[in-house]
Amino acid sequence: SKKERANKKKEQRDLQACKSIVQELEGHEDAWPFLLPVNTRQFPTYKKIIKKPMDLSVIKKKLEDNLYKSREDYCEDLRLMFNNCETFNEDDSPVGKAGHNLRSFFETKWNEHFPP
């Protein structure tokens, strides 16, 4: 139907916006702690403390494999990644500071693409 076609277009537009936001995050100078899954041999307590690890490479793959049912679903994974960072890292640590900076950058991009 016309409504279904319109909805499909919106979903395609949202997916494209989410992909471009991830690309912008990856290029940010404070993205370095979030580009790949945390190495649990390097951080042996991470698996016990963080129940649902998340990073930009997983989010990018989920986008490519069309595993998000909505932009809200995608936004949830990004906020999970930043919340994990706050759980494990001190605010004034290098990773903690990078997490706060990148979260702020993300929320700004989010509001640019999807004004509340």
Ligand X SMILES: Cc1ncccc1N[C@@H](C)c1ccc2c(c1)OCCCO2
Residues that bind ligand X (CB under 6 A): 33-34, 38, 42-43, 85, 88-89, 95
Q: How far is CA 40 from CA 46, 66, 81, 115, in A?
A: 6, 27, 16, 37
To ligand X, the closest distance from the beta carbon of 37 in angstroms equals 8
Q: Which is nearer to ligand X, 71 or 78 (CB)?
A: 78
Give 18-37 as a DSSP string.
HHHHHHHHHTSTT-GGGSS-
**Cβ distance to ligand X smaller for residue 5 or 41:** 41
Write down the least CB distance from residue 74 to ligand X, Å. Answer: 19
CB 91 within 8 A of CB 100: yes
Cβ distance to ligand X smaller for residue 33 or 109: 33
- The closest residue (CB) to ligand X is 33
- Three-class SS of residue 53? coil
